[in-house]
Amino acid sequence: MRIFDFIVSLIGIIMLSPLFIVTALLIKLTSPGPIIYSQKRVGRNGRLFSLYKFRSMVVNADRIGTSVTTGHDARITKVGRVLRKTKLDELPQLWNVLKGDMSFVGPRPDVPEIVSNYTGAMKRILEVRPGITSNASLHLRNEEELLSLAREPDKAYEEIFVHTKVGLAMKHVHRKSFLFDFGILLKTVWVLTVGKVLPTKEHPVVKEIKQAMERMK
């Protein structure tokens, strides 16, 4: 899988370089601040690394609001809203894949503050390389919209979403299969392309999350 990640990420960076340039210019011309946003995340075996994204929020957004982002978050810039909707803000993570910090498919890496509260069983997801997309990313692709329904988004994320996402991510630990990962990669491409016109059925876990958030009110 590492060979696949290296070759495909290198090809992707080269082929998508015009898109990188256009996106960078749009960010720079419409919002003051850096083009790339980086944040420390916990990777394989608990190693910290810097995860890269195109900046989609105002500068110092983490200091002027909640630690999670909701669908109607005022801190998101106009260009950033498009980037997040299309997932183009994730493109710089091709560099993370090329470097070996991440894989194309694997559990989404979280911040140290969240991982420090993992139970021993939950920390098993650190046995595999984190990814750009995952089982949880597919089923909870509307996470920001769901969080906007919560009265306390931070609390909802920590008490509901983290456990749900780790539970879904455990499939990566149990399977550790190239075919399983490749299947998720194909589903991700489908969701981001055809899925925009023909949306897939909502996963049952989304209903469970909505019910759990309702009980928190």
pLDDT in tens, 43-73: 999 999 999 999 999 998 888 877 888 888 9
Q: Please list, in sequence order, all residues whose beta carbon lies within 8 angstroms of the beta carbon of residue 165, skipping any fewer than 6 positions away.
A: 107, 108, 136, 140
Number of domains in the chain: 1
| Average pLDDT of span 89-107 | 97
pTM, full prediction: 0.90
- Give 216's pLDDT tier (boundaries 50, 70, 90): confident
Residue 106 has pLDDT above 90, yes or no: yes
Two tokens, residue 78: 């106009």
d(CA 24, CA 53): 11
Query: Strand 131-133 vs strand 103-105: parallel, antiparallel, or unpaired?
Result: parallel
pLDDT at 125: 94
Top-confidence range, 66-70, 121-125, 170-174, 209-213: 121-125
Residue that wins the pLDDT comparison between 19 and 139? 19
Domain that holds residue 208: 2-216
pLDDT at 199: 74
Residue that wins the pLDDT comparison between 32 and 197? 32
**CA-to-CA dists, residue 144 to 40, 97, 171, 175, angstroms:** 20, 24, 23, 28
Tens digits of per-residue pLDDT, 165-198?
999 988 888 887 888 899 999 999 888 888 777 7
d(CA 23, CA 148): 27
| Average pLDDT of span 2-10 | 95
